[in-house]
Amino acid sequence: MLIKRKSIEKEESSRPPRPPAPRKAKYAPVTLSEMNGVRYLHFGTEWVQGAMRIRKPDWLELEYAQQMMAWMLWIEQPLRIAQLGLGTAALTKFCYRQFPAAQVRAVELNPAVITVCESMFKLPPNDERLAVLEMDALDFVNDAANHAAFDALQVDLYDATARGPVLDSADFYSACAACLAPHGIMTVNLFGDHPSYAKNLKAMKFAFGHVICLPEVHDGNVVAIAFKSKPALDAAALAARAAQIVADSKLPAKSWVKGIHSAV
């Protein structure tokens, strides 16, 4: 349809000035790829934001995602788990299936990621135990209603460049610590070969009493485990718990224990 410019200008000049429209968030495009039976999520680049083996949709395909569950060495029966950054919903789905007594919250800012997880990555619908929230992770951790509420907090916040967490300040990690119960544990996906690594570790150590980094996997992924107080590191107890995790979930928990002992 053609509209005469003069008519628009005349009409607009007679109207009172409008307040500026709120800025809409801009997100990188959500794209997919598949190879050898594995579906991958990207944000318009070659960087992998998550993966799902199509025949095993609830399995944690990527090794760093498996390591993000290392809090299981100390917490056997969590009641509340939070995930910051949905990715392919791999961790969210695993926690939802593995801990039937737990409430699981996942926080994702980009609505397109939530939609693609529902349509392409087998994310179940929200119910009385599962809630996927479209919101900023910073708002979530700063909400007083979430303070002291969670046993486990998993943080995997990356943008299209995938080279460092998008939230990495001491204030952010202090808010994360506030969301955990006294026994609570946070795991964070970092990049060990990037300047963001040292910055994040410094901020985490400011906010938490004790931080342990597992050995690097993939193309530089390093999972940090943050505790509000120094954890029990008895070798025999950790080995027994790891064996139980392997039996219950098939996760490679024995390698986590080995990595923890090499780091402390």
- Report the pLDDT value the prediction gives residue 123, as an integer from 0 to 100: 98
3-state secondary structure of 234: coil
Determine which helix (DSSP H) or strand (DSSP E) holds 213, and give its type and residue range.
strand 210-213
pLDDT tens by residue, 59-85: 999 999 999 999 999 999 999 999 999
Tokens of 221: 């992924």
Which of 8-12, 125-129, 136-140, 163-167 is predicted with the least confidence, judged by mean pLDDT?
8-12
Query: Could you give the CA distance from residue 79 to residue 137 in angstroms, rounded to a whole number?
Result: 20
The owner of tokens 């980009």 is: 110
The pLDDT value given to residue 139: 98
Average pLDDT of the segment spanning 2-9: 40
- Mean predicted lDDT score pLDDT of the chain: 90
Write the single-letter amino acid at 110.
N
When pLDDT is averaged across residues 32-41 and rounded to a whole number, the result is 96
Instruction: Tell me the one-letter amino acid at 12.
Output: E
pLDDT tier at 15, thresholds 50, 70, 90:
low
Across the range 8-12, mean pLDDT stands at: 43
Confidence of residue 193 (pLDDT cuts 50, 70, 90): confident
Which pLDDT band, with edges at 50, 70 and 90, does 24 fall under? low
- Is 64 in a helix, a strand, or coil? helix
pLDDT in tens, 127-151: 999 999 999 999 999 999 999 999 9
Judge whether residue 3 has pLDDT over 50: no
What is the C-alpha separation between 191 and 47, in angstroms, rounded?
13
Look at residue 13 in the predicted model and tell me its pLDDT: 47
pLDDT at 23 over 50: no
For residue 192, what pLDDT band results from cuts at 50, 70 and 90? confident
pLDDT at 68: 98
Phi and psi based region of residue 228 (left: phi greater than 0; alpha: psi -120 to 50; beta: remaining): alpha
Q: What percent of the chain has pLDDT over 90?
A: 77
- For residue 14, pLDDT over 70 is answered with no
Stretch 232-254: mean pLDDT: 97
CA distance 68 to 156: 9
The mean per-residue pLDDT over the stretch 50-58 comes to 96
